[in-house]
Amino acid sequence: MLNESDILALIVTLKLAGLTTLILLLLGTPLAWWLSRTKWRFKFILEGVIALPLVLPPTVLGFYLLILLGPKGPLGDLMASLGIHSLAFTFSGLVIGSVFYSMPFVIQPLQNAFTAIGRRPMEVAATLGASPLDRFFTVALPLARPGFITAAVLGFAHTVGEFGVVLMIGGNIPGETQVLSIAIYDHVESLQYTQAHWLSGGLLLLSFIMLMSVYAINGQFKVGRNDH
Amino acid sequence: MTIEATFKITKKDFILDVDFSIPSKGVTAIFGPSGCGKTTLLRAIAGLEPCRGAHLKVGDMTWQKGHYCVPTHKRSLAYVFQEASLFSHLTVKGNLQYAIKRVPLSNRKVSLERAIELLGIEPLLERRADQLSGGERQRVAIARALSVSPRILLMDEPLSALDLTRKREIMPYIESLHDELDIPVIYVSHSPDEVARLSDHLVLLEKGRVTAQGETGKMLTRLDLPLAHGDDAASLIHATVAEHDDEYNLTYLDFPGGRFTVARKSLPIGFSVRLRVVARDVSLTLAHQSGTSILNIFPSTIDDILSEGRSEKVVQLNVGGVTLLSRVTHKSASLLKLQKGQLVYAQIKSIALLSDKH
């Protein structure tokens, strides 16, 4: 069965995935909305940047974040001069890494959902006296509900499954930065196959249940439309 | 009170360049072929079409002037879109409440109950938009627009997405708005039939420009305008119910040129009606016919004659100050030697009672 450090890893993983998803939904909603409405000529540049984590090896992303956030990196330098401890090998650093790593999985479903709504419902709401903010909350958000469910579940599940980025900038500190995927790797390395089985099986089941729920709730849910 | 508008909007395939003033009462139809800019014009009035340097004044409200532009949600208007535009995440009732909640109490002239009653949508209230037929959806959309208690109602071909049966189902509701509520309506249409039925004032739009405008009845019969031509050409006549004939079960309708006889209508004496007489149903004789089954025969003078295609002519008649159109063949015209100023008898085969308006 699970030992204490496994349970710690599970808690760290769920905390990380939950926090990452929350941050991404909060930051991603306005960004996805803007991307779905803007006529800016160079929006493809931003879309390319957002999609990068889909194709980039997580280790590359982790490497650059390590350089950026590490004690010798530009951001690390700045923070050190402000008296803030380096973010590398901390839970906060892990959250920052995960936000980048899972970004496309949250933003793309949201952007697709907002684009699918079209202009009409917003125009209708305007003619009924709803201000821009009012119609965003009372029309756009409810109509994009399937997109939010997809975004939340994909963002969460994808963060749970992260390995490379964590390894690069998180290290392997139990209770702080050791997540499930790393714990599994440790168990396999030290030939503790029973433990590895328990964790892997659990993760498999969790991921499957989450994705199945999305399909069940959204009906017409499409994972791969723009994602992979 | 008038609506004054000056717009210049450049689109990919055309330029809308209009400057007009229309009465802000009754129904004004904007009529023209597809792609002439009707919808763009209506959207511009609603503030949905970005345009610089426009001028728009509705009654005493200035909505656009130079850089000053009132955003759509602050304009006291309602808009009925061409296709159903109900919020799919709300029920019918939710849709209506969405509208009425955003109207300040002091401005609520049309209650939710009144809007529901006018459009007959009581049985639909708990349903969702996707559980309604096309006609029902459009009725709900109109009720929702009315719940805004707008100072002006904009309708963009609200019937065009519906089949004939559905059109007939909704038409009476739109007609009744006119009588029930004192809200000016701008109605975009490419159907001469809808224009004749519903509008009081008519603006003709062609390739982004206003070619003519005026009272609908006069516009329909002006030979220099496209509406007087084609198979749909018809005249509008305003008449009042004069008396009922119990013996033959008939109703007599008075208009400045005489008295119409129609099958009995259950309308009170003195009631105003609008009649539509299709040009094809008007034939001409030189003398008053006596041995004929046609009851509606009126002496009239020929104001104008114009060739319509290779075998027909349109004849514009003056019946006691009222203009009537007649379609005759070239052959008949030359047999009767029809010419301007001539006195003829117009025999009207059939009359359509359009609506009960003041």
The answer to whether A130 contacts B73, with C-beta atoms less than 8 Å apart, is yes
Burial of A130 (0-12, 13-18, 19+ CB in 10 A): buried
Percentage of residues of chain B with pLDDT beyond 90: 43
ipTM of the shown complex = 0.82
Q: How confident is the model at residue A7 (pLDDT cuts 50, 70, 90)?
A: confident
> If you search the block for the tokens 């890893």, which residue do you land on?
A9
Cα→Cα distances B204→A79, B7, B127, B340, Å = 69, 15, 39, 27
The residue count of chain B comes to: 358
pLDDT (tens digit per residue) in B234-266: 899 989 999 999 999 999 999 998 999 999 988
- B99 contacts chain A (CB < 8 A): yes
The answer to whether B79 contacts A124, with C-beta atoms less than 8 Å apart, is yes
- B89 contacts chain A (CB < 8 A): yes
Q: What is the DSSP letter of A208?
A: H
To probe the interface with B, which of A117, A122, A127 has the most B CB atoms within 10 Å?
A127
Predicted model pTM: 0.82
Q: Contact, B172 vs B204, CB < 8 A? A: no
Half-sphere exposure of A110 (CA within 13 A, CB side): 28
pLDDT (tens digit per residue) in B62-111: 999 988 889 999 999 999 998 878 999 999 999 999 999 998 888 888 88
DSSP B208-249: TEEEEEEEHHHHHT-TTSGGGSSTT-EEEEEEEEEEEETTTT
Which residues between 95 and 154 in chain A have a beta carbon less than 8 angstroms from any beta carbon of chain B? 120-121, 123-132, 134-135, 138-139, 142-143, 145
- B151 contacts chain A (CB < 8 A): no
Among B77, B87, B103, whose Cβ lies nearest the Cβ of A127?
B77
Among A124, A130, A142, whose Cβ lies nearest the Cβ of B102?
A130
What residues form DSSP beta bridges with B28? B186, B201
Smallest Cα distance from A138 to chain B, Å: 9
Q: How confident is the model at residue A228 (pLDDT cuts 50, 70, 90)?
A: very low
Query: Residue A104 is encoded by which pair of tokens?
Result: 């496309």
pLDDT (tens digit per residue) in A105-127: 999 999 999 999 999 999 999 99
* DSSP β-ladder status, B312-319 and B296-308: antiparallel
3-state SS of B91-141 is EHHHHHHHHHHCCCHHHCCCCHHHHHHHHCCHHHCCCEHHHCCHHHHHHHH
At B167 the pLDDT is 81
Smallest Cα distance from A107 to chain B, Å: 22
The answer to whether B89 contacts A126, with C-beta atoms less than 8 Å apart, is no
Average pLDDT over every residue of B170-191? 83
Among A123, A138, A143, whose Cβ lies nearest the Cβ of B48?
A123
Q: Residue A82 CB: number of other CB atoms within 10 A?
A: 7
Q: Contact, B302 vs B342, CB < 8 A? A: yes
What residues form DSSP beta bridges with B214? B202
Q: Contact, A114 vs A147, CB < 8 A? A: yes
- Which class would CATH give A4-227? mainly alpha
Quick check: A221 pLDDT over 60?
Answer: no
